[in-house]
Structure 1
């Protein structure tokens, strides 16, 4: 089989159809979607609200901080003790939310867009095609607005001279991936070492010739 991408498919022999003298060839793509190649990651985030912040401030206001000072022998122990106490108060007061992060998630996709997509699909499967077309127009408009917002966000990083965030945004948009080492292109370590030796010998030979010229 000829295609514009090398090693894009793997061939698997299949039995012939009926009395045919030609076997069938089943072509399987070697590419694996990113969603299937990597498992989703569960991440726990703290949900900060106005009520929880006020409750946390009240907890700190009624805390007798002198107890920590009297029970600690040096500044390092006092710092560690107070830090652990603050973390304990946060864990007991601030609500937590566990979310799944999939490998194909994009920061430009928000929950609002996902809800609009689900709403449109629900209308279409319910045979309400007219309302589904209206929902599609609203979805297209929301996607365009979100792209514009994300574009302005990247431009703002560039104006603020935040090159790291700007470069990460460009990599996500363009799908840029860092090239792997050329060591993976060789079939074995012995072949890789032989190529390095040949290159080194050639370099030394050129240096030797140039020395006498």
Structure 2
């Protein structure tokens, strides 16, 4: 039973925050476990609230409906923290990041995909089912086309033995960052090593 599993997790990890995400056709966890609160108040499938999110922290999240992914008949739910996040309590830190060139953005058709995704979100919020269906179709078609073009580009790089471009693409995908070289004074390092290894010969 679900309640027994939750109570077991609480006993094993008494200091941990327990968040329960479930898809209920008919059910309410607060009847069995009154200290748990349900955060999703918006319909997730037609007029029904089937997707539930429970935790013991009162007013922890605010639920906002988003457009469904792919062919899913459930809408996505964005749980926005209502509490003050630890990240916002910390001092801001300046970090450097690698900037994408305009050529890379054009290659991935990012601007077009971004615009179509925003159109899809706007159509979902408008409540017009026909408009949303059309926007979703256009977005899915553009994603398939972008994947096809990127696949062709990779195949061309492999067939042309362009290993540098292939490795560059892989490094971008996995966010590979080479280790920074150690800035040692070579003369000082050599003297330190000589002194260490020759200490028994004195």
TM-score norm. by structure 2 comes to 0.39
TM-score norm. by structure 1 comes to 0.38
Structure with bigger RCO (C-alpha 8 Å, 6+ apart) = 1
Larger radius of gyration: 1
